[in-house]
Chains A and B, each alone.
Chain A
């Protein structure tokens, strides 16, 4: 039993370590010193307040999207639509904020929170509904919903909601009342330039909520049951369809909450293509985090640190660019996905 529990931790760690080794070979092959490269990653992401702050900042949207994918997985559904869900939510939050100009922050902020969750939730719920009603596969439908979302928000940001007098593809700024505080407003000695905001704390709360819902309530009991076996759930009087729609709605909602940290906490506007693929990296985060909220936090922190470190690669190394991070992410996912290999290696050690 104890070993089983440890295994949950060991396997992702081994995967990350193995990915680091393979990455080192690649770095060596292009003529750079792997130790120097990894040192830069460490130094820039953990060894200063600024570094830690940026790591947490980059980790925040990844926690939301990782949580989104993980929640879907727990119900046996593969949500590839986090990217589309977060764009829809971000646009909805921006528009809501602009429309509610003049209202008190006590009203606007809660309303925007709800809009972010419901906006993403509807975009995730539709593929859930299609699966429940017609058996349409959620992988196909979430990908298609992504395309629709990209086109829709692009139209809105180019057309009706484009901020006048600028070439940048952005909406009007949301009013002060719709903004959540940055960390330096709450804690002294934090550099004013640091974009880390309250969104991070809300991401942690979302993880706690996920844990409670999935493992402590009757709804989570049913969602996980459906994820393990549709036929057993049906036998026990648990509605598979209802729970699939619910799980996809909640998964979409978590992805939509990216709008809280990115729109309400950082840019204060909807910026075209702001996400840079965090919805897709969320899949890797969920995989590495074993679809558990705590694992999602840890994996998001790792990926956040990688993104932070990557910004210094171009400056310090002639033969490397920040794209190395995508390579490392890819290798990590590959190793996590093939964890059976490591399990086998581990089991040999155990018996021998």
Chain B
């Protein structure tokens, strides 16, 4: 028995065909993964199922019956719930208030029946092992718990089919484990679960069936037991993917960066406490940790965006503590920021204009009289877009119209093109597809071969493990531990990230 059958779903947005005659069959009481690169159409097809969009052609069948789903309310009425990548919760309100929003139980006299709602939420929470206090304020909950509130929201509306969009993107390794237990429990209680993801290990671990999408088309649907990471990756990308990067032996040289006793307090909260470390030429130093444990502040201090309270930053033997961002850039320290939209590029500037950001004020991009040198700017953009395979490679296109992976490649191109001695790179592959990840990882390793010192900050342990020579783990503004590439152990690092030594 199929819980959901999507037949020949086609959806077109202006010029792009987001879904091209896609068939998906989801068996009842299973966990079904839908995987594909960014822009493959996996979120679109689930949003059609949830009534966010209308398909241009095709049919939806739920539990064997043909259904028209015109809007999310129809979907909810038919027992479909969706948890979005970005939570739709109101932080200052309680769990109960959030869950009943739009469905408030009201007595005949018009009084809100909060107690009854709380009771029901508590029962649901116990039934599925969610461990949520209905009276807690959402803003006091961790991201992992907020996600469970979203799941409760769907269960409260009697969802039989749960769609989860990139559910593990925001979770720590430990939280992912607990989350998977919850999914298994939901399945055993008769729910059908669809997860949209691009993480292959998770697909292999949790799902029963998997559908692979590429460029709006379904390229395969198979039982997970017949799949492997290699098979899935090749289907997703459409070619062989090199999983193991070729990492040369590089002997670290002289010390490039040395920080001593860095401490900083932001908004009366100590964010860094006595952080010290060294980084050598040709070395990749990974900084692991759950986000919000001081990594952002560390990067901002090293790149001149935040002033230190105490401590010293030495770069090639020179004291560069609290220099301005521009001065630091001029010393050939490149910075690829964690949040590319908020920091990395101007969305309404053209690719050519964004390729000179931070270097726009000097030769060869600016003449001594202050006028920009457009022939040079265009030439520079043309070369870099081609060299770093940014698609489409058009200098005059607004950068905001590119896909996330191409925006990231554009930033990488800009920062690498200035021949850095030190590269500070944060979350280099967040939200981008496998092809681009592979490319950017290779670029980082190439810099290492050229004896550049690399500081890699990432929430993806797998990324840190495969690239770093040494790894520091940060927890609550302190260095909680250090591991070398040889002794890297996921379990151990995961524990350090949460404060267990």
Contacts and interface: CB of A to CB of B under 8 A. Distances in A.
B329 to A, nearest CB: 5
Contacts of A238: 326, 358
B175 to A, nearest CB: 28
Given A221-B353, A225-B346, A235 B366 contact: no
A236 B304 CA distance: 10
23 contacts: A216-B372, A217-B371, A218-B371, A219-B370, A221-B353, A222-B361, A225-B357, A228-B348, A229-B346, A231-B343, A232-B357, A234-B305, A234-B325, A235-B303, A235-B305, A235-B335, A235-B343, A236-B357, A236-B358, A237-B304, A237-B325, A237-B326, A238-B326
A351 interface: yes
B194 to A, nearest CB: 29
Given A217-B372, A218-B361, A221-B353, A228 B346 contact: yes
A224 B325 CA distance: 19
Interface string A108-129: 0000000000000000000000
Q: Which of A224, A225, A237, A238 has the most CB of B within 10 A?
A: A237
B333 to A, nearest CB: 11
A190 B347 CA distance: 50
Interface of B: 14, 303-305, 324-329, 335, 337, 342-349, 353, 357-358, 360-361, 366, 370-372, 374
A224 B350 CA distance: 12
B366 A218 contact: yes
Nearest to A235: B343
Of the listed residues B337, B347, B358, the one surrounded by the most CB atoms of chain A closer than 10 A to its CB is B358
A229 B342 contact: yes
Given A221-B360, A236-B360, 9 more contacts: A212-B371, A218-B360, A225-B349, A231-B343, A235-B337, A236-B325, A236-B357, A236-B358, A237-B326
B378 to A, nearest CB: 14
Contacts of A218: 360-361, 366, 370-372
Contacts of A221: 353, 360, 372
Contacts of A231: 342-343
Nearest to A213: B370
A217 B361 CA distance: 9
B346 A232 contact: yes
A217 B370 contact: yes
B325 A235 contact: yes
Contacts of B328: 237
Contacts of A351: 14
A225 B344 CA distance: 12
Contacts of B370: 217-219
B289 to A, nearest CB: 21
A216 B353 CA distance: 11
Interface in A216-275: 216-219, 221-222, 224-225, 228-229, 231-232, 234-238
Contacts of B372: 216-218, 221
Looking at A221, A229, A231, A234, the one whose CB has the most chain B CB atoms below 10 A away is A221
B326 A232 contact: no
Contacts of B353: 221
A232 B337 CA distance: 10
Contacts of B343: 231-232, 234-235
B119 to A, nearest CB: 44
